Amino acid sequence: MSLIDFSAEEYEVLSWLSHLMQGSEKGVKIFEVDAKTGEVKLVADPPMKLDRSSLFKILDRLESRGLVKSVFEKKIATCVRCGKGLFQPHLNCPACSSEDIEKVIVHVHNCGASIPETLLSSVKTCPKCGDVLERKDFVNSHGRFVCNSCGEVFEHPEVVSECVSCGFSAKASDMVYLTLRRYTPTESGSLLLEVRSPLRVLLRKLLEEGFKVSENVSLRGVSGATHQISLLAVRVEETRVYEVGYFVDAETLLRFAVKRLDVEKTSIPGALGRIRWIMAGVEFAEAALKTAETFGVEVEVVKVA
Ligand SMILES: [Zn+2]
Ligand SMILES: [Zn+2]
Ligand SMILES: [Zn+2]
């Protein structure tokens, strides 16, 4: 498996999936139908603002590389007109489309005529052969639908689903179906995440350089807000506050810059010497580098294997 061209998008999606997996063994359903609005929506915001189709392209690529596996879960029907997925079913007469139908017991006369039970009290002779109707002449009885509008007797009503959102009605076979699959990172996928984790790589490097390192540290800001940071590294002459990502976009950088402005040196536990705030990542968006420059945030490129 060549991973030279393994992209930031692939890493971010794999990491996103792995995060969503937590506490479930069945795999992640990437989207679902909102039970209130009928909207087909992703279970969580995808990384790097990927849209649904790009997300699925990357998942396919990860699957073809053996880093993710998926199993079929079910099909989801969506409205041809508005794309939503909540329906109200209706049963119609196949002859006149009326919904005024009911299920009745129908007796089959020895001539082949079908006579609904409800008619037996009023009809005395068979409408087909003209014989007087007697119970002994019925060869079969079964449940059928009868239309109160046109009198049609039928076994299968026409099933129509009405979209709860926009009111458009369609036969089940005419709707748009989305395939819902469950995705799980494979063992090699999880291993790859670990091996290429910029946080792990940076952590090892800092320890080798003699830093004392704490992970996931909460820092209290002057504003009263609590800020989470990835790594806090301290050694005699300096303290480094690190935020670590794989692909760093401008927003991530901006959030980090805000933390830096809000947190004073005295709020950093065990801080010694000069304080450096460093945004670390494997790849940086152009706009992120500009933002870093504007706010005077240091950036560090982490080289992952
Ligand atoms: Zn609709
Ligand atoms: Zn009818
Ligand atoms: Zn008859």
Ligand 1 centre to CA of 84 (Å) is 6
Ligand 2 centre to CA of 119 (Å) is 17
How many other C-beta atoms lie within 10 A of the C-beta of residue 232?
A: 21
CA 261 – CA 267 distance, rounded (Å):
12
Ligand nearest to the CA of 149: 2
**Pairing, β 283-284 against β 247-248:** parallel
List, in order, residues 6 or more apart from 256 with CB less than 8 Å away.
243, 277, 279, 297
Structural domains present in the chain: 8-80+172-193 (1.10.10), 94-156 (no CATH), 197-301 (3.40.1350.10)
Radius of gyration of the chain (CA): 33
Query: Which residue, among 47, 74, 257, has the nearest Cα to 177 in the 3D structure?
Result: 74
CA 27 – CA 183 distance, rounded (Å):
5
Ligand 2 centre to CA of 79 (Å) is 26
CA 286 – CA 277 distance, rounded (Å):
19
**pLDDT for 64-101, tens place per residue?**
999 999 999 999 999 999 999 999 999 999 999 999 99
- Residue 296: pLDDT over 50: yes
**pLDDT for 105-145, tens place per residue?**
999 999 999 888 888 888 899 999 999 998 899 999 999 99
Q: State percent of the chain over pLDDT 90.
A: 84
Beta bridge partners of 244: 280
Query: Which residue, among 229, 302, 291, has the nearest Cα to 260 in the 3D structure?
Result: 229
Ligand 2 centre to CA of 89 (Å) is 18
Ligand nearest to the CA of 113: 3
**pLDDT for 260-286, tens place per residue?**
999 998 999 988 899 999 999 999 999
pTM of the model: 0.77
**pLDDT for 18-32, tens place per residue?**
999 987 778 999 999
Ligand nearest to the CA of 125: 3
Ligand 2 centre to CA of 170 (Å) is 18
Q: Mean pLDDT for the chain?
A: 93
Ligand 2 centre to CA of 114 (Å) is 16
Q: Residue 3's pLDDT is what?
A: 53
HSE (side-chain half, CA atoms, 13 Å) at 50: 21
Ligand 1 centre to CA of 175 (Å) is 10
Query: Which residue, among 53, 52, 68, has the nearest Cα to 10 in the 3D structure?
Result: 68
Ligand 1 centre to CA of 52 (Å) is 20
**Pairing, β 238-244 against β 274-281:** parallel
